[in-house]
Every structure is written in structure tokens, then in C-alpha cells.
């Protein structure tokens, strides 16, 4: 047989993700080739270290020569790249193209920008190869024991890569693999990008819940951990709530709570920002994730905040709260704002699907996120069910189940936001979500005045309530302006 002794899949990039994915593949019975470039004097021995360490005695072949690596893999070759996103992927592709055979498949499992993936799919296909851009979520642990994997690109590659990718994916509680075909071009990476954006939002919301408990109720770390642990038994059950309880209880070597020693300056690697930029390009509101991204930026301006805090002393009235009631309201704010965030995120996915002709299956995406990934949570079942309903909701918050949830949560949510504002305690994501909800559920908004202003100074025109939609009018507001209209278009 031509493929005798050849390996089932090749993996490039032996940093934290690649190393663990290779071990995961091997543990599922796949014969794996691995390759890591060797930068003289910098990363010498990465492959050897892996082979002599965690891969010792396993069905893994290591290579430091890229041609020997490619030749070791059975045709059609499946080569997964787990390298830093950006130019490293293009550089690798340039090296690989001359070594591949027609029909070979490249899989980019890194956090690539979906527009790069659009381009790479076209480039690979123009050369007779197939290209899969796949989001992989779950970090180191997921890579080793089961990740959420979101593949898109050349659909012909799916039957070939499906057995391997589904075998290394996490399994949802009902046993389905958290890996399904997403759609064409860069759709897999787009979905992963929105996943990461939602992750930013979830983290900010949990941080605000923590902050209100700490600042308004004066709860200890252990008491707050108990609240999060209790929430993790109910509708908020999720990986991020679970680890928050663990983080709050964690003590460092000195015996003190580590959380109290960590500087309040959050970093970011870009996928939250990309989500917001792309939502703006698509003309879709993604305010909660934008707030989360901007709050990380503001948090990192620690010196400025310190200076400003000296000049504007916050006015706390230090009221006495009913603890049980306030904790219930924090729960309402957290759960309702989370629903808003997911509704916004899925609406962006739907708009991208329509704009790019991707035919995304939102229920399938929700199901894929139920295991392995950072935002895995129990309520993704309810989201999948809402999108699967025969009477598809126009917006997630209008699905019958979520509509009832929002009605129940609203009193506690608005009371919590109002109380926090009165106490000058920032809850930007809770309040952004609440404002979105109020705007969404307002048949009338003051945008009539915005249109009037645009027409007054720039002849940008407006539609009238007393005329059919789609007709645009211009008013000579001052009597000395002309009748010439500006072009009517939206960006
Ligand atoms: P890094 O993102 O730190 O990338 C390091 C790897 O890229 C090393 O193997 C490095 O090789 C290789 N590499 C670079 Br840098 N430039 C290269 C080039 N020009 N040619 C070939 N290889 C090159 O590793 P990671 O954290 O394992 O992440 C891998 C991908 O997965 C990234 O896109 C990341 O965004 C994504 N991701 C990461 C996580 C996570 O939790 N870390 C989660 C989900 C997705 P070298 O050893 O020779 O320098």
C-alpha cells in the first residue's frame, strides 16, 4: 500500500497548543508527524525536547526538516498549523506549497483573522489544495483533552478531516462532538472571533458582579466564592463562573488571597477588538463586547485612574443592604446582561452569514460551544433550542423562553444598575446591556432629531412618518439653504 507507514496527520508548531493537540490526536489512535521550525540559537531542540519528553514512547514522529515532515504524511495530506497568527501562517504556506500534492489539506488552527483566511482559502484552492481555517478554543487543557473546534473553508476537505477533528473535540453533555462544519471561506475563524468577543463580555460581566458584591456588600473572598459556586449549580452554570469561584478561594505561597494582589490592569490580544470592528463594518450593535474591550483599555491606564481618583472623590452613601436581595439583583443583572451579549453576538453572526452568503447554522454553533471552549455553559442549550424552533425568532431576546426570562430579570437588573450608579460604582457592561435592552424595546427613539440635524447641516435627507418608507426628503431649514440633497446612502 502506498500509504503504508505514513502518518495520518502532520502538525506544525510545538508551542502550548500544538504540543497538546498532537498528544490528543495520538491518544485517539492517530499516527502523528510533528514539525517545529528551528531558529538557530533561539528555539533549538523544540522537536527533540518534545520527542524525549511528553511524546516519548508515543506514536508520534518528529521532524526538523520540513520536506521530510511533509513526505512522512499519507496522501491526501492533512497538515494542521498551530503557529502564531499573521505572517507566520503565510510564510509557512509559502514553504509548504512546493512540497504538497494536489488535494492535500492545510488546516490553520490558530486565531487568524477571518479575512486572511478568506484570502488563504482562495490561494490554496487556486493551487489545487484545500484549506481549512479552524477556530480552536479551550486553551491548553482543551487542546489536550477536548477543544471546541470550528472549521470552515474548502468544504471538500470536511469528509477527510472530520474523523480526526471530531475525535479530538470535546463532547457536549449529550455526547455530540463540539466540532461541526461551519461554512465556506473564513467563516470558521469569524465564528471563533465572535466566540472570543463573547468571552470578553462574559469576563467583564462576572468581574462587575464580583465588584458589586465586594464594594456594596463588603463580602469576603470566601463569601463571594460561595455565591459563584451556588450560581454554578443553576442557570449560570458555566466554566467561567466555576473558575471564578476557584480563583476567589486561591491562596498564594504566603497564605494570602492571590486575587487581592493581582494588579487591576487587563491585557488583550485582539480578538475582542476584531469582533467590535467587524460588527461596526456590518452595521451591527455589539455594545456589550465593545464595553468589555474599552474597559480593559481603561483598566490598563492605571496611573491615570490613580491620579483622577485623587481629584474626584467618589460619593458613597454607604447604605445598609439586604444581602440576600442584593445578591439576587446581581444575579439578575449578570444573567440578563449575558443574554443581551449573546443576542448581540448571534445577531452579528446572522448578519455576516447573510452578507457573505455563508449559510451559518446558529443552532449548530451554539451546540458547538457547549463543551471544550471557554464560554461553555448550560444556557447554550436554550440558545440552540431557540434557533431550532420552527418559528425562528427575529432576535434571540424575542424567543418565547428568553422573553419570559428577561421579564423576570428586569426589575432586579435595573434596580442594581440604578443603585450602583447612585453609589458611583462603575458597572459599564450591566448598564450598556440595560440601555441596549431599553433601546431595542422602544418603538420610538430620538433618532428623528439626529436625522433632522444631519439634514440641517449636510442635506443628508430623512424619511417621514407620514410617507412610505424608502422616500427621502430634504428641508430648506433656514430659508437660505438650497434644495440640493446629499447622496442618500448608509455605511
Ligand atoms: P504561539 O501563538 O505563541 O506561537 C508559537 C508557535 O508559532 C511556535 O511553534 C513558533 O515556532 C511558531 N512560529 C512563529 Br512564532 N513564527 C513562525 C514561522 N514564521 N514559521 C513557523 N512557525 C512559526 O503558540 P500557541 O499559544 O500555542 O498558539 C498557537 C495558535 O493557536 C495561535 O494562533 C494562537 O492565537 C492560537 N490559540 C492559542 C490559545 C492559547 O491558549 N494559547 C488558544 C486558542 C488558540 P518557534 O518555536 O520556532 O518560535
Is residue 61 flagged as an active site residue? no
Nearest-CA residue for ligand 1 atom 6 is: 83
Neighbours of 245 (CB within 10 A): 19
Domains of the chain: 7-180 (3.40.50.720), 190-439 (1.10.1040.10), 443-490 (1.20.5.320)
Kindly state if the Cβ of 133 falls inside 6 Å of ligand 1.
no
> Could you tell which of 13, 49, 144 is best to mutate to test the pocket of ligand 1, judged by most ligand atoms within 8 Å of the CB?
13
Tell how far the Cα of 194 is from the centroid of ligand 1, in angstroms.
20
* pLDDT score at 1: 42
Share of the chain above pLDDT 70, in %: 98
Question: Which tens digits make up the pLDDT trace of 254-287?
Answer: 999 999 999 999 999 888 999 999 999 999 999 9
Kindly state if the Cβ of 269 falls inside 6 Å of ligand 1.
no
The active-site residue, picked from 199, 208, 295, 405, is: 199
Nearest-CA residue for ligand 1 atom 35 is: 111
Nearest-CA residue for ligand 1 atom 16 is: 88
Kindly state if the Cβ of 86 falls inside 6 Å of ligand 1.
no
Report the DSSP beta bridge partners of residue 183.
152
Kindly state if the Cβ of 118 falls inside 6 Å of ligand 1.
no
* pLDDT score at 49: 93
Give the whole-angstrom CA distance, residue 361 versus residue 154: 17
Question: Which tens digits make up the pLDDT trace of 433-486?
Answer: 999 999 999 999 999 999 999 999 999 999 999 999 999 999 999 988 777 777
* pLDDT score at 239: 96
Ranges under pLDDT 70 in the chain? 1-4, 39-44, 491
Task: Please tell me whether 342 is known to bind a ligand.
Answer: no
Is residue 199 flagged as an active site residue? yes
- Global pTM reads 0.95
Kindly state if the Cβ of 81 falls inside 6 Å of ligand 1.
no
* Phi, psi (deg, nearest 5) at residue 218: 60, 30
* pLDDT score at 290: 98
Tell how far the Cα of 40 is from the centroid of ligand 1, in angstroms.
17
Amino acid at each position: 500500500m502506498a500509504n503504508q507507514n505514513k502518518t495520518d496527520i502532520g502538525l506544525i508548531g510545538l508551542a502550548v497548543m500544538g504540543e497538546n493537540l498532537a498528544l490528543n490526536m495520538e491518544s485517539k489512535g492517530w499516527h502523528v508527524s510533528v514539525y517545529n521550525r528551528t531558529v538557530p540559537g533561539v528555539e533549538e531542540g523544540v522537536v527533540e525536547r518534545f520527542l524525549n519528553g511528553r511524546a516519548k514512547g508515543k506514536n508520534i514522529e518528529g521532524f526538523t526538516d520540513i520536506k521530510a515532515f511533509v513526505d512522512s504524511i499519507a496522501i491526501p495530506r492533512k497538515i494542521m498549523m498551530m503557529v502564531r497568527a499573521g505572517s507566520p501562517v503565510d510564510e509557512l504556506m509559502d514553504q509548504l506549497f512546493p512540497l504538497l500534492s494536489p488535494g492535500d489539506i492545510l488546516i490553520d488552527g490558530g486565531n487568524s483573522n477571518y479575512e486572511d483566511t478568506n484570502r488563504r482559502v482562495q490561494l490554496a484552492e487556486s493551487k489545487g489544495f484545500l484549506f481549512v481555517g479552524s477556530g480552536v478554543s479551550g486553551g491548553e487543557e482543551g487542546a489536550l483533552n477536548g477543544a471546541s473546534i470550528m472549521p470552515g473553508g474548502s468544504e471538500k476537505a470536511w469528509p477527510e478531516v472530520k474523523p480526526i477533528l471530531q475525535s479530538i473535540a470535546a463532547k457536549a453533555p449529550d455526547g455530540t462532538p463540539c466540532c461541526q462544519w461551519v461554512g465556506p471561506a473564513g467563516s470558521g475563524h469569524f465564528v471563533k472571533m465572535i466566540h472570543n468577543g463573547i468571552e470578553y463580555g462574559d469576563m467583564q460581566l462576572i468581574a462587575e458582579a464580583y465588584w458589586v458584591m465586594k464594594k456594596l456588600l463588603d463580602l469576603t473572598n470566601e463569601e463571594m466564592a460561595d455565591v459563584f459556586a451556588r450560581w454554578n449549580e443553576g442557570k449560570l452554570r458555566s466554566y467561567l463562573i466555576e473558575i471564578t469561584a476557584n480563583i476567589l478561594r486561591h491562596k498564594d505561597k504566603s497564605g494570602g488571597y492571590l486575587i487581592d494582589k493581582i494588579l487591576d490592569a487587563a491585557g488583550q490580544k485582539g480578538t475582542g477588538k476584531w469582533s467590535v470592528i467587524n460588527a461596526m463594518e456590518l452595521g451591527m450593535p455589539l455594545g456589550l463586547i465593545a464595553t468589555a474591550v474599552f474597559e480593559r483599555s481603561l483598566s490598563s491606564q492605571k496611573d491615570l485612574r490613580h491620579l483622577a481618583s485623587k481629584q474626584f472623590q467618589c460619593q458613597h452613601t454607604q447604605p445598609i443592604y439586604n444581602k440576600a436581595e442584593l445578591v439576587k439583583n446581581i444575579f439578575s443583572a449578570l444573567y440578563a446582561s449575558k443574554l443581551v451579549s449573546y443576542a448581540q453576538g448571534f445577531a452579528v453572526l446572522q448578519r455576516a452569514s447573510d452578507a457573505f452568503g455563508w449559510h451559518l447554522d446558529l443552532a449548530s454553533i451554539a451546540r458547538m460551544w457547549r463543551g471544550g471552549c471557554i464560554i461553555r455553559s448550560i444556557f447554550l442549550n436554550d440558545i440552540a433550542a431557540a434557533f431550532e424552533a420552527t418559528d425562528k425568532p427575529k432576535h434571540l431576546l424575542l424567543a418565547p423562553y428568553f422573553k419570559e426570562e428577561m421579564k423576570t430579570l428586569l426589575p432586579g437588573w435595573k434596580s442594581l444598575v440604578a443603585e450602583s450608579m447612585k453609589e458611583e460604582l462603575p458597572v459599564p457592561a450591566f448598564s450598556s446591556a440595560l440601555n441596549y435592552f431599553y433601546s431595542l424595546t422602544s418603538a420610538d427613539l430620538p433618532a428623528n432629531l439626529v436625522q433632522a440635524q444631519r439634514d440641517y447641516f449636510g442635506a443628508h435627507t430623512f424619511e417621514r412618518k407620514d410617507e412610505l418608507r424608502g422616500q427621502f426628503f430634504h428641508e430648506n431649514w433656514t430659508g437660505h439653504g438650497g434644495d440640493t440633497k446629499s447622496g442618500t446612502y448608509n455605511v
